[in-house]
Each structure stands twice: as structure tokens, then as C-alpha cells.
Amino acid sequence: MTLSDLCVPDNPQRRRGLVWAASACWMATHLSGQARSMTDMSSEGIDLVFPRLADTGNAVPLQARIRAPEGTFLKSLRIILPENPNPLALQLKLHGEPQSYQLNTRLRLAASQSVWVVAAFSNGTERANSAPTVITSTACLDDS
């Protein structure tokens, strides 16, 4: 595609390019708004066990314990890795009416970052907590 192709009003490549640009702008606005709202959410009832320092980002262990507020139950939870190419690492919808939930998993991290756990409850509220980690180089990559 050349610049002159983009100037032709009825060119399908132009339309696809404009749709892509508009959707990219919308997604950037939506994700940045979501990131701001996660920092504003309460972290009460979400406990994370996550290493502050990891040798490699291939399999970093995460343990999350979530307790629902009194009179509610847990409906879903998400794990968000903002620095990864696909930030949504996990999305679970829970059946039944669990008051508490414990999750043990391993995450692949593209870079040093804060891992977010967002829990949604039956009354429509959400809570979020994050844990930062620093990924170091392994000894196998060292030139010494």
C-alpha cells in the first residue's frame, strides 16, 4: 500500500486502515482507563503471594487468595499482565456461590511488571490487588 492508495476515497485498503486506526485509538483509551480504575479499586480481601525477584519470566509462581465481602460471593476473576503482548492472562467465571477462592498458577512474564488480580462480586463491585516483580537475567546468558 502506498500513500497515494490512502488518498483514494473508495479504496478498500483505506477503509481497513481507517478502521484499524480508529480501533487502535479506542483500545488504547479503553485500556488506559481500565488501568487507572484498577489502581483506584480496594484491595481488601485479595491476598497475593508473588516473588519480588525472579530469575526468569518463564514460569513465575502466583498464589492468590480472594475473600468476598460479607453478604456477597465471588463471580469471576481476571489476571492481568500489563507489560505482556496479551495482557489478559486468565479469566475465570466461577459457578456456585463461593465466599472464598484460592488459585495457584505459574505465569509467563515478558518483562518486569506488576501482576494484577481483579475480582468481581455478586453485588457488581470489583476489587483489585497487584504485586510487582523484577525479572533478572539467568546465569546462562552471562558472558563471564
Q: Say which residues have a Cβ less than 8 Å from residue 57's Cβ, sequence separation at least 6.
A: 108, 109, 110, 111, 135
Report helix, strand or coil for 34.
Answer: helix
- How much is the average pLDDT of 31-60? 81
On whether both 62 and 7 belong to a single domain, the answer is no
Residue 37's pLDDT is what? 72
Rounded Cα gap, residues 10 and 14, in angstroms: 8
On whether both 24 and 72 belong to a single domain, the answer is no
On whether both 61 and 112 belong to a single domain, the answer is yes
pLDDT above 70: residue 144: no
More confident residue, 25 or 125: 125
On whether both 67 and 95 belong to a single domain, the answer is yes
More confident residue, 32 or 38: 38
Tens-place pLDDT, residues 59-89: 999 999 999 999 999 999 999 999 999 999 9
On whether both 125 and 64 belong to a single domain, the answer is yes
Task: Look up residue 120 and give its three cell numbers.
Answer: 468481581
On whether both 70 and 87 belong to a single domain, the answer is yes
Rounded Cα gap, residues 23 and 76, in angstroms: 27
Task: Give me the domain span that covers residue 67.
Answer: 42-136
Count of domains in the chain?
2
